[in-house]
Structure 1
Amino acid sequence: MLEDMRLFATIVEHRSLNKAAERLNLSQPALSRRLARLESELEIELFRRIGKRLELTAAGQVTYEFALELRRFHGGFLQKLNAYKSTEAPLATIGASLTTLQTTLPDLITAITEQHPNLEIKAITGKSHEITTLVKERKVDFGIVASAVIDDPAITSLPLFDDHLILVLPRSHILLERTHLEMADLHGLPMILFAPGTWYRTMTDELFRAYKLKPDVRMEIDSFEAIIRLLSACRAGTLLPRSYLREQVLLDNDLYLVRIRELEETNRTTSIIHGDPAWLTPSTRFLIEETKAYFARRANQRNE
């Protein structure tokens, strides 16, 4: 049926058996026989013969529309099938939690696209449980979330790196006149915090409750970059994931990292998650392996 529809559509588009036969590299009698056989199978005339001219019947028009739809469907099928034959994909869709989007995804995308300049990457953001759902529904190729998914048999969760919170202060902050800071020093401290709803803010609030701290929260913002840029102007501190705080970010904003033992114990594992391995295309498996290798290299560099 697929081949017959292809021949039929070619006849319609060339409006001539002779021209269509030439395009299809068939003889005109052979093409005529194929058309007659199709009409016999469908038990209806597809063309009216007006001299040497062919004119579609109403049934022929419906059949032509079906042939076009079949052509589009077949093309899409072949395109998807081809992804299982190659490790090079034209498009990758990554799901990322909001924290991950700001802390780790930019550098990862830069590294991947440097290796694969023709690759287009689409990122979909959401809360970790939302990204997990997208992975299960195969709406993203894989996800990167600041957690581990261990209670869902439909999800494979692989750790990438551990992260923890760290206190960030402007270099001119009065607290830095002291040689040692403790959790108690956060009580009453003017702070700019991330907006509620992420693992990072949830962990921050849990810390405050556990140590009975009430910082002076001046702002709640859903952008790490905005928080960083406002700290000096507001003479405030913040708690941020260590993974976000590159040296250049600190230098550009005249900030200082303060080590507090209890904060370093706030470990959170960022993981890559994907669905049933049987559904992964070679290109997706390849990108997953490259992502794991990228974070392994970063870990080795930090340990050197």
Structure 2
Amino acid sequence: MLEDMRMFATVVEHTSLNRAAERLNVTQPALSRRIARLERELGVGLFRRIGKRLELTAAGQLTYEFALELRQFHGEYLQRLNAFKSEEAPVATIGASLTTLQTTLPELITAMTEKHPNLEIKAVTGKSHEIATLVKERKVDFGIVASSVEDDPSVTSVPLFDDTLMLVLPRTHFILERTQLSMSDLNALPMILFAPGTWYRTLTDELFRQYGIKPDVRMEIDSFEAIVRLLGASRAGTLLPKSYLRPQLLEDNELYVVRIKELDLIKRTTSLIYGDLGWLAPSTRYLIEETIAFFARGARQS
């Protein structure tokens, strides 16, 4: 029926059996027989023949709309099928939590596109549990989240690296005059914090409760970049993941990182998650292996 639907759509688009037959490289009688067979199989008339002109019936219009969808789905199917024939993926869709999107993904995407110039990378963001659902539903090829998914046997988690929080301050901040800082020094400290709802903010809030800290929260922003840019002007501090703090970023914004021993004890594992390997194209499995190797190299170098 797929081929009959293709021929039917061609007839509709050319408004003539003769023109459609030329386009399809078949004879007009053969094309007429295919359309008649399709009408018999469906049990409805698809055209009204008004002289030499063909006019769609209501059932024909519905069938044409279905034929267009079928053609689109067939094309997408063939495109995705090609991924099983090659290790070179044309498109990779990565699910990433918001924190991961800002801290981990840029460097990974840069490395991937340098190695595979023709690779198109798409990113879908959401909370970690939302990314896990997208992985299970095969709406993303794999996910990178600031957690692991251990309670779902249909999702495999591969630890990539451990992250921790670090205190970041403007270089001219008065508190840096002290030789050593502890969590208690964060009490009443002017701070800019990430907006609520992510693992990063949840971890920060849990940390404050654990040590009885009540910082002077000046702003809540959902962008690490914006936080970094505002620290100097606000004369405030913040807690940021170590994975985000590149030397050039600190230099450009005249910031200083302070290690606090209590913060070193709080770690969060960033993981790569994927679904049933049987559903993954060889190209996707190859990208997963490359991603794991990329972070393994980074761990050895740090």
TM bin (shorter chain): 0.7 to 0.9
1:34 Cα offset (Å): 5.2
Amino acid at match of 2:208: F
Higher alpha-carbon deviation: 71-80 or 267-276: 71-80
Give the equivalent residue in structure 1 for 2:141: 141
**Deviation at residue 70 of structure 1 after TM alignment:** 3.6
Q: 60-69 vs 249-258, which deviates more?
A: 60-69
Q: CA deviation at 1:185?
A: 2.1
> Are the aligned partners of 1:135 and 1:273 in contact in 2 as well (CA < 8 Å)?
yes
Change (3 A) 1:22 1:244: same
Residue in structure 2 matched with residue 233 of structure 1 by the alignment: 233
Q: 2:125, 2:131 within 8 Å by CA — same for their partners in 1?
A: yes
Cα distance in 1 for residues equivalent to 2:116 and 2:258: 38
Any gaps of 5 or more consecutive residues in structure 1?
none
How far off is 1:163 after superposition? 0.5
- Equivalent in the alignment of 1:173: 173
Partner of 2:103: 103
Q: Deviations over 1:5-50 (max 9, x none)?
A: 4444445555666655554444566556656665666677767595
One-letter amino acid matched to 2:3: E
> Aligned-residue CA RMSD in angstroms?
2.8
From the superposition, tell whether residues 270 and 41 of structure 1 become closer, same or farther in structure 2 (CA, over 3 Å).
Answer: closer
Whole-angstrom distance in 1 between the partners of 2:109 and 2:136:
22
Runs (5+) with no aligned partner, structure 2: none
Q: How does 1:183-202 map to 2 (within 5 A)?
A: 183-202=183-202
Query: Match for residue 280 of structure 1?
Result: 280
1:83 correspondence with 2:83: yes
Instruction: Quickly say closer, same or farther: Cα 1:204–1:79, change in 2 above 3 A.
Output: same
Measure, in 1, the Cα distance between the counterparts of 2:56 and 2:207: 76
CA distance in structure 2 between the partners assigned to 1:213 and 1:54 by the alignment? 81
Cα offset, 1:151, TM superposition: 1.0
What secondary structure does 2:133 align onto?
helix
Q: What TM-score do you get using the length of structure 2 for normalisation?
A: 0.85
SS in structure 2 of the partner of residue 89 of structure 1: coil
Change (3 A) 1:41 1:269: closer
Is contact 2:102–2:244 with CA below 8 Å preserved after alignment?
yes
Bigger drift between 65-74 and 14-23 goes to 14-23
TM-score using structure 1 length? 0.84
Cα shift readout 1:201-245 (whole Å, capped 9, x = no counterpart)? 222222222222222222222221122122222222211110000
* Structure index of larger Rg: 1
Q: Structure 1 residues 54, 269: closer, same or farther in 2, change over 3 A? A: same
Q: Post-superposition shift, 1:89? A: 3.4
More off after superposition, 84-93 vs 152-161: 84-93
Tell me, what secondary structure is at the counterpart of 1:165?
Answer: strand
CA distance in 1, matches of 2:137, 2:58: 39
Q: Which residue of 1 aligns with 2:245?
A: 245
Cross-structure match for 1:114: 114
Q: How does 1:33-48 map to 2 (within 5 A)?
A: 48=49
8 Å CA contact 1:47–1:60 kept in 2: the answer is no
Q: Which residue is 2:267 aligned to?
A: 267
Contact 1:192 1:237 in 2 (8 A): yes
Give the corresponding residue for 1:153: 153
Residue identity opposite 1:210 in structure 2: Q
Change (3 A) 1:78 1:234: same
* Cα displacement string for residues 116-136 of structure 1 (whole angstroms, at most 9, x for unaligned residues): 333332222222122222222
Counterparts of 1:163 and 1:106, CA distance in 2: 16
